[in-house]
Amino acid sequence: MSSSLAVVYPALTGGMAAAIVIPIVVVLIIAAFAIMIPWMRKRFAERLAEADAALEGENVLMKSMQASCFGVTSEARNEVRGDGILALTDERLAFFMFSPKKTISIPREKITGVGTPASFLGKTLISPLLEVRFENEAGEDDSAGFWMKEVLTWKSALEGKSPEQSADNPPDSTAD
């Protein structure tokens, strides 16, 4: 504590100042969360409604409400990554990012391959990521990286396999 404060408030020295400052900081943090959580829930609900409207009329095969985009190779300079909703339909793979509000849509017929690398565009997680290789609108090879639960189930679905055939659901080795 500065000496000028000690002169004005002689009782606020050492541990006494911490006893006052720390609770004030804790209250401010709690207040910030009390404001942010309802705002984030509202934002999530709005984006979910937008995603549902965008997917209306399409046969949604899979949807993850807790997905992360690790970027798109051709947009690496702009570094677009974030959390959002990932949906797989008969026609496309679509990612609806929360913030910034952005949609990545990859037509299924443009997908050239899928993989499960340990990293994508220099970003790494403990669990594997889903890399989707595709031909972009310019006709160039491109790829996008995603993380969600059950990455291998998503990979199998993109390869045209049923969820039962994915490595997330290995065959029962006790069957005859």
CATH of the domain at 105: 2.30.29.30
Residue 173 lies in a domain: no
Q: Is the pLDDT of residue 6 over 60?
A: no
Cβ–Cβ contacts within 10 Å for residue 151, how many?
A: 22
pLDDT (0 to 100) of residue 163: 52
What is the domain range of residue 46? Answer: 1-54
List beta partners, residue 86: 64, 95
Q: First-to-last CA distance in the chain? A: 75
Question: For 98, how many CA atoms within 13 A lie in the half-sphere containing its CB?
Answer: 17
Q: Is the pLDDT of residue 170 over 70?
A: no
Residue 171 lies in a domain: no
CB-based contacts of 66, cutoff 8 Å, min separation 6: 83, 148, 149
pLDDT (0 to 100) of residue 27: 77
- pTM (2 decimals)? 0.72
The type of residue at 102 is K
Into how many domains does the chain fold?
Answer: 2
